[in-house]
């Protein structure tokens, strides 16, 4: 049996698969972000989650050949690597598990562990790819100076357009009206107080406003359409950089998949994204969820090859 854990900032998904790829049990835990809840809380949540998962699957720890843990922010602070690598050590022997960034889960699920690239655009944006044993990630620098093309970035750009329309720096448009209505603002300048004081700059709440930009673009607002054109370009740039890092030559057609809530906008984001890609790709819908990808990757790291499912 194999265990996959897809850690997230708000929730963590656990899955138990047998060697035929059948799902034996699932579980959902709380945040796996050590930056938010602390190392001790993450360790406790993982221990509890694995115990519940095994109980749900009528399995014992001795039945598990390998486990993979996708952990948010893994690899983004070298001083924390050993601490993060030790998190599951109270559950498994060190040769029975591996840890890495949670973006690996998205790639492994979307492409079923095959060579290629996965681009994630949710609250943030990041990519991961593998080619002949070589791996790389791009993006994922955070909302203050990165995460281009993400839900947070799209919302932030939308709010910027709102301020310019309010000032008269841009022609008043539908996007302004829709944001004002969504936030129930009676006065334009109430916006900073809401976002910075009441919301405390909440990354999640700001990112959720990206849906207003999508709705405005669907209704034909030119500024909203322009934001999504730029978002598609930024995501394509992340993919192209990943391709270069892992050494795909210019004559190779690379498998490319995508995941994250921004892509729920469909053609509004996929069309500009595909248009901005400079190299040859086969664009594929994700085959499996990130948590299934984590379990598939556990099997791959164990040397079992890909599970048939």
Residues 188 and 51 in one domain: no
As a whole number, mean pLDDT of residues 211-215 equals 96
Q: What is the mean pLDDT of the chain?
A: 91
The verdict on residue 207 lying in a domain is yes
As a whole number, mean pLDDT of residues 285-305 equals 88
Residues 136 and 106 in one domain: no
- For the cut 70, the answer to whether the pLDDT of residue 187 exceeds it is yes
The verdict on residue 228 lying in a domain is yes
Using a 10 angstrom Cβ sphere, with 0-12 exposed, 13-18 middle and 19 or more buried, the burial of residue 284 is middle
- For the cut 90, the answer to whether the pLDDT of residue 256 exceeds it is yes
Q: Are 148 and 119 in contact (CB under 8 A)?
A: no
110-143 per-position pLDDT tens digit: 998 899 999 999 888 999 999 998 999 999 887 8
The verdict on residue 307 lying in a domain is no
Check which CATH number belongs to the domain holding 91 and give it: 3.30.420.40
Overall domain count for the chain: 2
As a whole number, mean pLDDT of residues 264-271 equals 92
Token look-up 């499912």 returns 309
The verdict on residue 306 lying in a domain is no
The verdict on residue 248 lying in a domain is yes
Residues 105 and 164 in one domain: no
Q: What is the pLDDT of residue 307?
A: 52
Q: Are 136 and 126 in contact (CB under 8 A)?
A: no
In terms of Cα–Cα distance, which of 209, 250, 235 is closest to 118? 235
Q: Which residues pair with 300 in a beta bridge?
A: none
Residue 181 — φ and ψ, nearest 5°?
Answer: -70, -45
Between 39 and 235, name the one with better pLDDT: 235
Residues 261 and 295 in one domain: no
Range of the domain at 126: 113-286
Residues 71 and 212 in one domain: no
- For the cut 50, the answer to whether the pLDDT of residue 211 exceeds it is yes
Which own/partner contact pairs does 186-190 have at CB distance under 8 Å and 24+ positions apart? 188/162, 188/163
Residues 78 and 174 in one domain: no
43-95 per-position pLDDT tens digit: 999 999 999 999 999 999 999 999 999 988 888 888 889 999 998 988 998 89
Residues 171 and 156 in one domain: yes
Between 72 and 245, name the one with better pLDDT: 245
- For the cut 70, the answer to whether the pLDDT of residue 308 exceeds it is no
Residues 73 and 182 in one domain: no
Q: Which two tokens stand for residue 187?
A: 């006065």
From residue 53, give the alpha-carbon distance in Å to each of 56, 92, 143, 257, 290. 5, 14, 33, 29, 17
The verdict on residue 203 lying in a domain is yes
Residues 129 and 272 in one domain: yes
Residues 12 and 61 in one domain: yes
Q: Which residues pair with 282 in a beta bridge?
A: 255
The verdict on residue 275 lying in a domain is yes
Residues 173 and 219 in one domain: yes
- For the cut 90, the answer to whether the pLDDT of residue 19 exceeds it is no
Q: What is the pLDDT of residue 309?
A: 44
Residues 101 and 150 in one domain: no
From residue 304, give the alpha-carbon distance in Å to each of 18, 62, 66, 296. 12, 17, 10, 9
- For the cut 90, the answer to whether the pLDDT of residue 194 exceeds it is yes
The verdict on residue 309 lying in a domain is no
pTM for the full predicted model: 0.84
């Amino acid at each position: 049996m194999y265990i996959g854990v897809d850690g997230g900032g708000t929730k963590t998904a656990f899955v138990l698969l047998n060697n035929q790829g059948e799902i034996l049990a699932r579980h959902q835990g709380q945040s796996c972000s050590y930056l938010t809840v602390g190392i001790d809380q993450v360790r406790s949540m993982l221990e509890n989650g694995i115990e519940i998962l095994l109980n749900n699957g009528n399995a014992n720890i001795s039945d598990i050949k390998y486990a993979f843990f996708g952990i948010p922010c893994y690899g983004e602070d070298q001083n924390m690597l050993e601490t993060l690598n030790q998190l599951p050590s109270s559950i498994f022997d060190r040769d029975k598990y591996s840890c890495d960034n949670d973006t690996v889960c998205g790639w492994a699920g979307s492409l079923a562990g095959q060579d290629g690239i996965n681009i994630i655009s949710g609250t943030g944006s990041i990519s991961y790819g593998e080619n002949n044993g070589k791996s790389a990630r791009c993006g994922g620098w955070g909302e203050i100076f990165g995460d281009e093309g993400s839900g947070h970035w799209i919302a932030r750009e939308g709010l910027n357009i709102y301020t310019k329309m309010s000032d008269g720096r841009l022609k008043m448009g539908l996007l302004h009206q829709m944001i004002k209505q969504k936030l129930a603002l009676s006065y334009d300048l109430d916006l900073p107080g809401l976002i910075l004081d009441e919301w405390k700059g909440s990354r999640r709440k700001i990112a959720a406003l990206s849906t207003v930009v999508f709705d405005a673009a669907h209704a034909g607002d030119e500024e909203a359409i322009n934001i999504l054109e730029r978002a598609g370009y930024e995501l394509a740039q992340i993919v192209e950089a990943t391709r270069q890092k892992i050494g795909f030559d210019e004559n190779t057609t690379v498998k490319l998949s995508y995941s994250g809530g921004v892509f729920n906008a469909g053609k509004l984001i996929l069309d500009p994204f595909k248009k901005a890609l400079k190299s040859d790709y086969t664009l594929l819908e994700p085959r499996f969820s990130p948590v299934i990808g984590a379990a598939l990757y556990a099997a791959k790291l164990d040397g079992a090859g890909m599970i048939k499912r």
